[in-house]
Structure 1
Amino acid sequence: MNRRDPSGRSAHRTVVHANLRRRSAGLAALVAVVLLVAACGSDNKTTKAGSGTTTGKATTTTTQATAAAAPVSTASNPMLGEILVDTKGFTVYVYDPEKNGMPCVDGCATAWPPVVLGADASLPPTGPLAADLSTVARPDGAKQVAYKGRPVYRFAGDTKPGDIKGDGVGGVWHAVKVGGAGGATTTTAGRVSPY
């Protein structure tokens, strides 16, 4: 007995095609994540504001603040505690395996935009976070903000201030917790980025 759906195809064939489409979509998402992570290179050029010392392959200069406010500040999050946010209140993240480098460029930086200083801005020499903030020179010449030597990024999937959708993405992206430079959380670890 050959059952047919209204379009004339056998029911079995329709189910097989639906399963293939689902598997293909899952595989495409996995490939996208792999490409996103692969797009993350490394460039270790770190500048610590006001320190006058060199860290790693860094070139360090002493700077004076030309901006009125720090590029990042702290905010309380009910799930994570005190975290860093950018000037608009969006959560900032670090790439877990990277230490004192800049892994996220090109396609990766589309999903994880770097937190950068304006052309004429610099880090404030005083304030509660001043000792932990530095900058990383990006390939395009922009100065990316770093917390405890680690470059910080926003997540394109966060749509409003206070979102923490990027925490735990791929098991390697984490919200920056004040007092630490981010870390895995059991509530979101292993989430796959849709970007």
Structure 2
Amino acid sequence: MSSANRFQRAAVPAAAAAVVLAGLLSACGGDKDGRPEPAAASTSQAASSTTSTATLATAAGQASAVAKTQGWLKIYGGAAPAGTANVVQLNVTDNPSVGQYVSDGSGRALYRFDKDTAKPSVSNCAGPCAVTWPPLIVARDQSVYAAGVDPQLVGFIERPDGTCQITIAGWPVYYFSKDKKPGDLLGQGVGGTWFAVAPDGGKATRD
């Protein structure tokens, strides 16, 4: 057998392994330093979503400039223009007991967990914990708008299940399953480790 044929036969398993490895890459993607980055197949999807968002914003006369980009995720300042689809909206809500805290576009409170870390950003809430405290997830076809929150503080991390969780100042943010309507803060102080997240990523509390 010629050396060329031996090389071709050896290359087939290697190529197959590369395909399998590519298939194992998560929705978030990531480089060797742990910084999320887009997979080639998804770059066009993200670009298409961004174009669609920009088109809608322009049509509404409220074109927005991207304030920050992390990998494939585009983060804008302010409220999403009316009619903009596929966005995660962050707002700030005032509460007489805890002061300002971050909420989503429907007014539901967002929380941080003291057992997580911000530097590096790591979530330590998974399994049953994540059922009680569902993470705020962003998908590849979405963008984020932050009103009252510095867009530079907003980002995301990859969770063990491959989904992408929004962070504020490095802190992963969550909902509380017992909060049923806008303005509910039933998760505040639970276990001495869960607190509504302030716009700067700190704990929302007047203490």
**Number of the residue aligned with 1:19:** none
Structure 1, unaligned runs of 5 or more: 1-46, 48-53, 187-195
Tell me the amino acid that sits aligned with residue 132 of structure 2: A
Task: Give deviations 1:71-97, integer Å, cap 9, x for gaps.
Answer: 321111121111100122111000013
Query: Which residue, 127, 145, 159 being the options, matches 1:106?
Result: 127
1:123/1:110 Cα in 2 relative to 1: closer, same or farther (>3 Å)?
A: same
Task: Give deviations 1:27-68, integer Å, cap 9, x for gaps.
Answer: xxxxxxxxxxxxxxxxxxxx9xxxxxx9xx631443453884
Tell me the amino acid that sits aligned with residue 172 of structure 1: T
TM-score normalised to structure 1 length: 0.58
Query: Which residue, 187, 199, 205 being the options, matches 1:178?
Result: 199
Task: Give deviations 1:98-131, integer Å, cap 9, x for gaps.
Answer: 2121111111011000001134113359984311
1:79/1:108 Cα in 2 relative to 1: closer, same or farther (>3 Å)?
A: same
- After TM superposition, which residue ranges in structure 1, 4 or more long, deviate above 3 angstroms? 60-64, 66-71, 122-128, 183-186
Highest Rg: 1 or 2? 1
> What root-mean-square deviation, in Å, do the aligned CA atoms of Structure 1 and Structure 2 show?
2.9
Tell me the amino acid that sits aligned with residue 164 of structure 1: L
Q: Do the aligned partners of 2:155 and 2:167 also contact (CA within 8 Å) in 1? A: yes
**Number of the residue aligned with 1:65:** 74
TM-score normalised to structure 2 length: 0.55
Counterparts of 1:73-84 in structure 2 under 5 Å? 73-84=91-102
Q: Which structure is higher in strand share?
A: 2
Q: CA deviation at 1:141?
A: 1.9
Counterparts of 1:29-44 in structure 2 under 5 Å? none
CA distance in 1, matches of 2:172, 2:200: 15
SS of corresponding position for 1:131: helix
Q: Identical aligned pairs, as a percentage?
A: 31
CA distance in 1, matches of 2:92, 2:146: 17
Tell me the amino acid that sits aligned with residue 120 of structure 1: D
Tell me the amino acid that sits aligned with residue 79 of structure 1: S
SS of corresponding position for 1:82: strand
Q: Do the aligned partners of 1:65 and 1:123 also contact (CA within 8 Å) in 2? A: yes
Count the aligned residue pairs: 132
1:158/1:127 Cα in 2 relative to 1: closer, same or farther (>3 Å)?
A: closer
Structure 2, unaligned runs of 5 or more: 1-27, 38-70
CA distance in 2, matches of 1:90, 1:63: 26
**Number of the residue aligned with 1:144:** 165
Task: Give deviations 1:151-195, integer Å, cap 9, x for gaps.
Answer: 000001111111111010000001001234216666xxxxxxxxx
CA distance in 1, matches of 2:145, 2:206: 30
- Most deviating of 67-76 and 138-147: 67-76
**Number of the residue aligned with 2:137:** 116
